[in-house]
A and B are shown apart, each in its own frame.
Chain A
């Protein structure tokens, strides 16, 4: 048995307080693992939303797990504003590093390539750039009078996501979510929860292999069935709209958020031991 295959509690316990963690936007979100972080009372996490965030960042912030969030935006989409995020920013309990979507991807791609920074068009004249001390404007060295923004590489300590399946060798099938590869390549470690572990080698299959992440980049795998619940896993299960709606309503203030979390972490306790 491959030693990267373990259980979810072991993955959660390896994510130290203060870690920089990359989370994908609105699918493949490892909700079971996220609830585990809340349960273990993780603190001072630096979240990198790739490139935006929804329920998980809002929940982690509401539960006091986060000190910094680097994001192009946090929103519950059609369910409204991310209120725990908004109120933490107003209070100043969480530091926000505002970015724009392609800036997050570009920063990760720089890390993937092992280069210290990367140029990106746009941004100049925005208050997004003006408020990021780590974003700069340089002159294009190849053209006259062409200012361009440069951004530092983003190297998360961990990328965490949920996927349909992994194999015994540690290869992970992603499906269409190719951005997850960029995240894994850019991060020091990648932890994946999966619906199931299959007994064939995913990379031996032409169609699956091209949509998969090599075990080289995978440091921990655990089975978590319905691991995206109440969010969706494309091609497998849809949103649980009722639960999401109840969250969006409860998260409007801290007290009702706390009781919502108490109820829903209780469920998780029984599921994951």
Chain B
């Protein structure tokens, strides 16, 4: 079966969520949201997927304060963050480029990142653009730090980074990404050329597993109609629903 790039990314992220209980998805995250729904559709352990922006049960949240309290109690197992810039220590910049505060380019701001990055055990970084302007040696502004001193209370942090080229894991002790697999049709050279930070890699880098027909059916039949509620344009573009 042929698949769209988005479906490969959904399938890749979903594998990272197996065995979890509560997955929360933030704003502007149709692909992570679809991945959480895919994981939930085939996992007995996933009890709730909370999608910010969904107005439908069981995906809606009981208010934003509840989301943050929930995270602080360890009741959210996975969350997704992106960044205008992400560096090799997994520092995330959602604030802007240039000298703070009067930055040349100002993005939205930190949102919940400066808090959730510390408290959610598996934070998955996701960005649909894999270039050196995104994956930089050092971010201009640390909206949320990837690592902390040992005495800082931090049960959570970065777990993986998924891009259209590859999948990285993050080693919190070494404070460094490791290339886990490269998506079909892409090469190590391409990953290196487009990544501005150093990363570890195995002697031989495997190819990312493509979604099988059963997975694609789940995505198209189960996931698509649900994600179309908070993300109508996305669902129309990918699946025509």
- Which residues of A approach B to under 8 Å, CB–CB? 25, 51-52, 71-75, 77-78, 81-82, 85-86, 89-92, 95-96, 98-103, 105, 120-129, 131, 145-148, 176-179, 182, 234
B94 in contact (CB, < 8 A)? yes
Q: How far is the CA of A139 from the CA of B116 in the complex (A)?
A: 21
Q: Which of B103, B110, B145 contacts A99 (CB 8 A)?
A: B110
Contacts A52-B108, A78-B28, A182-B65 given: A125-B142 contact, CB under 8 Å? Answer: yes
- Beyond A82-B108, A98-B109, A179-B63, whether A129 also contacts B114 by CB under 8 A is yes
Range class of the B interface residue count: 35 or more
B104 touches A90 (CB 8 A): yes
Instruction: Tell me whether A124 and B152 are in contact (CB under 8 A).
Output: yes
B151 touches A100 (CB 8 A): no
Known contacts A51-B64, A91-B102, A105-B64, A72 near B110 by CB under 8 Å? yes
B15 at the interface (CB under 8 A from A): no
For B108-151 the 0/1 string (1 means CB < 8 A from A) is 11111111111100000000000000000000011111001101
Residues of B near A127 (CB, < 8 A) are 95, 100, 141-143
A85-B106, A86-B105, A131-B101 in contact; A52/B63 too (CB < 8 A)? no
What are 29 contact pairs spanning A and B, CB under 8 A? A52-B109, A72-B109, A72-B110, A72-B111, A73-B110, A74-B108, A75-B109, A77-B27, A86-B105, A89-B102, A90-B104, A90-B105, A92-B101, A100-B111, A101-B64, A101-B112, A105-B64, A121-B118, A121-B153, A122-B115, A122-B118, A124-B152, A125-B142, A126-B145, A146-B153, A147-B151, A177-B63, A179-B65, A234-B55
Contact B110 A126 (CB under 8 A): yes
Instruction: Give the distance in Å from the alpha carbon of A98 to the alpha carbon of B103 in the complex.
Output: 13
The CA of A182 and the CA of B108, in the complex, are separated in Å by 24
What chain B residues lie within 8 Å of A147 (beta carbons)?
A: 151-152
B94 to chain A, nearest CB (A): 7
- Enumerate chain B interface residues (CB-CB to A < 8 A): 27-28, 55, 63-65, 68, 72, 94-96, 100-119, 141-145, 148-149, 151-153, 233
Q: Contact: B103 with A72, CB < 8 Å?
A: no
With known contacts A52-B111, A77-B28, A125-B142, A90–B153 Cβ distance under 8 A: no
The answer to whether B109 touches A73, judged by C-beta atoms less than 8 angstroms apart, is yes
Main SS of the interface on chain A? mixed
Residues from chain B with a CB closer than 8 A to the CB of A73 are 94, 108-111
The B contact surface, by secondary structure, is loop
CA distance A105 to B100 in the complex (A): 24
Which residues does chain B contribute within 8 Å of A85, judged by CB atoms?
106
Assess the B116–A122 pair: CB atoms within 8 A. Answer: yes
In the bound assembly, the distance between CA atoms of A90 and B102 in angstroms comes to 4
Q: In the bound complex, what is the Cα–Cα distance between A99 and B110 (angstroms)?
A: 7
What is the distance, in angstroms, from B164's C-beta to the closest C-beta of chain A? Answer: 20
Q: Which of B95, B103, B114, B151 contacts A122 (CB 8 A)?
A: B114
A125 CB to nearest chain B CB (Å): 4
Identify 11 new A-B residue pairs, CB closer than 8 A, beyond the known A51-B111, A125-B142, A128-B114: A75-B109, A77-B27, A89-B96, A89-B101, A98-B95, A101-B111, A101-B112, A126-B114, A128-B142, A146-B151, A146-B153
State the Cβ distance, B112 to closest chain A Cβ, in Å: 4
B64, B96, B104, B143: the one within 8 Å of A126 (CB)? B143
- B103 and A90 within 8 A (CB): yes
Question: Do A81 and B115 have beta carbons less than 8 Å apart?
Answer: no
> Known interface pairs A74-B108, A89-B103, A90-B102. Does A121 touch B143 (Cβ–Cβ under 8 Å)?
no
**Other-chain contact of B108, A75, A91, A99 (Cβ < 8 Å):** A75
Interchain CB contact under 8 A, A100 and B108: no
**Closest residue to B117 on the A side, CB-wise?**
A122
Bound: A73/B113 CA distance, A = 11
Collect the chain B residues with CB atoms within 8 Å of residue A178's CB: 63, 65
> Closest 8 CB pairs between A and B?
A73-B109, A122-B115, A100-B114, A75-B108, A102-B68, A73-B108, A125-B145, A86-B106
